[in-house]
Chain A
Amino acid sequence: MKTLDYRKVSDAVRSATREVFSMMIGLEVEPEAAYEEKNSTGTVDGVVALIGLAGQWVGGGILQCDVPLARKLYSSLLMTECDVANDGVNEEVLDAVAEIANMIIGNVKNEVERDLGTIGMGIPSVVFGRNFTTRNAGTNWIVNPFVCDGGHLWVKFCLAPPASTGGGAAELLGRESIRAKHHVTA
């Protein structure tokens, strides 16, 4: 029976994140110790991009970062200033974060499907909000934290045989207003 090698996944996440950041964004990322996460992640302030994965195994990938880093990622990726006032984000910033998530999770998926078989990737959804909770359903997530330009970034990944996931990768529970943008990006 095929199994998911957590260390291999973490290595793939680190490699993909470094490659995307160095080639496309021009920023360094410093990885911190990876860990497994189950159930609630605690409250979140910032931007979360989610991408579903389905096929012989199912699950998802998440890129989460704080707002100042999301703005910095947008500016560096597009080589332009973020013209949203104060600490806000706009559709362009969310689109940029979605595309970065797409590249990282897509490359991790390419790596793991060598062992697990073909896996399809969905189109990213991006959530921006304050004081909200993400809750994982059914299976553990492999979390790789990174420090980048003084901000924090988390890349989360989970895959499981279809019967064990409970049918979903993550649920989002809003405590205050959450502005959700379902992007049509890939």
Chain B
Amino acid sequence: MLLDVLIVDDSAAIRKILQRVLRQAEVPLGQIYEAGDGLEALKTLGSQRVDLVLADINMPNMDGLQLLNQIKTSEKWKHLPVIMVTTEGGESKVMSAAKLGAAGYVRKPFSAEQFRETVDGIFASPGGGETR
């Protein structure tokens, strides 16, 4: 069971670090796709099969909450799990993400262990995500 993961962050450094941390967390990875903002992410989702999305919140063009809303209101992608990975730890942002249907919320800075627990929790739960 390999997970194809889409990492959405406008920092190339964070996209690289997230790939490393997912490997350190022993998440079974298939393809990894990268996007620099929500609009790029939607393009990738339109052309690739993705099992899990990691998305920052503060991004230009389309932010992470807008992206989450687009995913969760789409018939095609509404069951796709999205983990928000962000410095935004304020209650309002966390609540907004939860209301929109985020599957998890990881605050920067983060550890591999946090990802292991979050990803395990999503895919262990009934209907947490469809995987190959």
Partner-B contacts on A (CB < 8 A): 19-20, 23-24, 74, 77-79, 92, 95-96, 98-99, 102-103, 105-107, 109-110, 113, 118, 121-123, 183-186
CA distance A94 to B60 in the complex (A): 18
A-B pair number, CB within 8 angstroms:
79
Within B1-31, which residues are at the interface with A (CB < 8 Å)? Answer: 9-14, 16-17, 20
Is the pair A118, B109 in contact by a Cβ cutoff of 8 Å?
no
Task: From the candidates A77, A105, A186, name the one contacting B57 in the complex (CB within 8 A).
Answer: A186
Chain B: number of interface residues, binned into ranges: 20 to 34
Task: From the candidates A74, A121, A183, name the one contacting B88 in the complex (CB within 8 A).
Answer: A121
Say how far A43's CB is from chain B's closest CB, in angstroms: 28
Say how far B78's CB is from chain A's closest CB, in angstroms: 26
CA distance A63 to B89 in the complex (A): 20
Is the pair B13, A95 in contact by a Cβ cutoff of 8 Å?
yes
Contacts of A102 in B (CB 8 A): 11, 58, 87, 108
Q: Which residue of B lies closest to A16 (CB)?
A: B109
Interface of A is mostly: helix
Contacts of A96 in B (CB 8 A): 13
Q: Which residue of B lies closest to A186 (CB)?
A: B58
Say how far B70's CB is from chain A's closest CB, in angstroms: 18
Is the pair A78, B87 in contact by a Cβ cutoff of 8 Å?
no
Is the pair B10, A106 in contact by a Cβ cutoff of 8 Å?
no
CA distance A124 to B58 in the complex (A): 10
Is the pair B111, A106 in contact by a Cβ cutoff of 8 Å?
no
Contacts of B58 in A (CB 8 A): 102, 121-123, 186
CA distance A168 to B12 in the complex (A): 28
Instruction: Output the residue of B9, B11, B110 with the most chain A CB within 10 A.
Output: B11
Is the pair B11, A118 in contact by a Cβ cutoff of 8 Å?
no
Judged by a CB distance under 8 angstroms, whether B56 is at the interface is yes
CA distance A106 to B10 in the complex (A): 16
CA distance A107 to B107 in the complex (A): 9
